[in-house]
Structure 1
Amino acid sequence: MPKKVDRQERRTLIADALMRVAADQGLEAVSLRHVAAAAGVSSGMVQHYFRTKDEMMAFALDVVRDRNQVRVTEALARLGEQPPPRLLLRTMIATLLPLDEHTRADGRVALAFLAYTAVRPAAASALREETAQLVGFIAGLLPGRNPDADAAGLLALMEGLGVYLLGGQYTAEQALGALDAQLDLLFGSSARA
Structure 2
Amino acid sequence: MPKQVDHEARRREIGAAVCRVMAARGLDAVSLRHVAAEAGVSMGRVQHYFATKDEMLLFAFRLISDRVADRIGQVWSDDPRTFLRALLLELLPISAAARAEAPVLAAFLAQAVVEPRLAEPLRAGSHEMVAFVAGQIRAVRPEGDAERDALALLAFVDGLMLQVLIGQVDVRTAEELVEHQLSRLFTND
Whether TM exceeds 0.5 here: the answer is yes
1:130 is aligned to 2:125:
yes
1:140 Cα offset (Å)? 2.2
**Equivalences, count:** 185
Root mean square deviation of aligned Cα: 1.5
CA distance in 2, matches of 1:16, 1:133: 24
CA distance in 2, matches of 1:24, 1:58: 18
| Residue number in structure 2 paired with 1:154 | 153
How does the TM-score come out when normalised to structure 2?
A: 0.92
Identity %: 44
The superposition leaves residues 50-76 of structure 1 with CA deviations (integer Å, 9 ceiling, x where unpaired) of: 000011001101110111111111111
The superposition leaves residues 19-54 of structure 1 with CA deviations (integer Å, 9 ceiling, x where unpaired) of: 111001011111111100111111110000000001
| Residue number in structure 2 paired with 1:34 | 34
Cα contact 2:15–2:63 (8 A) shared by 1: yes
Give the partner amino acid of 2:113: A
CA distance in 1, matches of 2:182, 2:47: 46
1:112 is aligned to 2:134:
no
Give the partner amino acid of 2:8: Q
Cα contact 2:134–2:147 (8 A) shared by 1: yes
| Residue number in structure 1 paired with 2:97 | 102
CA distance in 1, matches of 2:147, 2:65: 23
Q: Map 1:35-74 to 2 at 5 A.
A: 35-74=35-74
SS in 2 for 1:118: helix
Structure 2 residue runs without a partner (length 5+): none
| Residue number in structure 1 paired with 2:187 | 188
1:166 Cα offset (Å)? 1.2
1:188 Cα offset (Å)? 2.0
CA distance in 1, matches of 2:85, 2:96: 20
| Residue number in structure 2 paired with 1:168 | 167
Give the partner amino acid of 1:147: A
1:20 is aligned to 2:15:
no
Cα contact 2:15–2:56 (8 A) shared by 1: yes
CA distance in 2, matches of 1:176, 1:104: 14
Structure 1 residue runs without a partner (length 5+): none
CA distance in 2, matches of 1:171, 1:113: 23
Give the partner amino acid of 2:130: V
The superposition leaves residues 126-184 of structure 1 with CA deviations (integer Å, 9 ceiling, x where unpaired) of: 21121112112212222342222211110011101111111111211110100000000
Give the partner amino acid of 2:181: Q
1:13 Cα offset (Å)? 0.8
CA distance in 1, matches of 2:107, 2:73: 24
CA distance in 2, matches of 1:17, 1:132: 28
Cα contact 2:75–2:83 (8 A) shared by 1: no
